[in-house]
Amino acid sequence: MLVQVAWGVLGVIVIGGALFAHRSHTAYRVAIGALALLYLPFGAAVHAWYLATDVSYSGFTDWSWSSFVTDTWESLVVPHDWMFIGLLIAFEATVGVLVLIAGRPRRIALMLVVAFHVALVSFGWAYLVWVVPMVAAMVLLLRAERQEHRLEAPGPVALHA
């Protein structure tokens, strides 16, 4: 339960920071920091802990609108959770690190977060409550990242004769 509360709090911080990121460098940095926390200690590390302590991922897709997703999850992912959740851990750790690196790595991380969240909808329509604001936040952070990049990029060099 504590992990879900942390995810919710960090999600609110990411979304709130993203709303003001285009006007405030501080809001932008807070949102990026919260996103890194969401994916590193509260994503990758939590799932690593779950794997180490044999937490079952069975039932995760029970609310899916697709029996294909539920059946595939239960027959493929659950019996081989070490591999599939291991890939999830690697993904979350990669995103958590890339989002901390300004420029192209951060933009790639933000786009990966969008793709990840869109894929979550296949696990059930209830995820839309989380997915829609998070995707919107990632789009706002991408916009702010481009703005930050333009501000930090050196301008053209004036040539004097």
pLDDT digits (tens, 9 = 90+) for 22-43: 999 999 999 999 999 999 999 9
Q: Is residue 155 part of a domain?
A: no
Residue 157 lies inside a defined structural domain of this protein: no
Q: What letters, b where the CB count within 10 A reaches 16 and e where it falls short, cover 95-110?
A: bbebbbeeeeebbebb
79 is a domain residue: yes
Count how many domains the chain has: 1
Q: Quick check: is 126 in a domain?
A: yes
Who contacts 97 (Cβ-Cβ below 8 Å, separation ≥6)? Answer: 36, 40
User: What's residue 158's pLDDT?
Assistant: 45
At residue 155, the pLDDT reads 46
pLDDT at site 114: 98
Residue 133 Cα to chain centre, angstroms: 12
Residues 99-133: tens digit of each pLDDT: 999 999 999 999 999 999 999 999 998 899 999 99
* Any domain includes 65: yes
Domain-located, residue 109 = yes
Question: Could you read off the pLDDT of 14-27 as tens digits, one per residue?
Answer: 999 999 999 999 99
Share of the chain above pLDDT 70, in %: 92
* Matching residue, tokens 């296949």: 122
Find the Cα–Cα–Cα–Cα dihedral 155, 159, 160, 161, rounded to 10°.
-170
Asked whether residue 160 is assigned to any structural domain, the reply reads no
Q: How far apart are CA 83 and CA 49, in angstroms?
A: 14
Q: Using a CB cutoff of 8 Å and minimum separation of 24, what contacts does 69-74 make?
A: 69/122, 69/123
Which pLDDT score, from 0 to 100, does residue 161 have? 46
Are residues 113 and 43 in contact, defined by beta-carbon separation less than 8 angstroms?
no
pLDDT value of residue 2? 83
* Measured distance between the N- and C-terminal CA atoms of the chain, rounded to whole angstroms: 68
Structural domain boundaries enclosing 57: 2-148
* Model pLDDT, residue 151: 54
28 within a domain of the structure (yes/no): yes
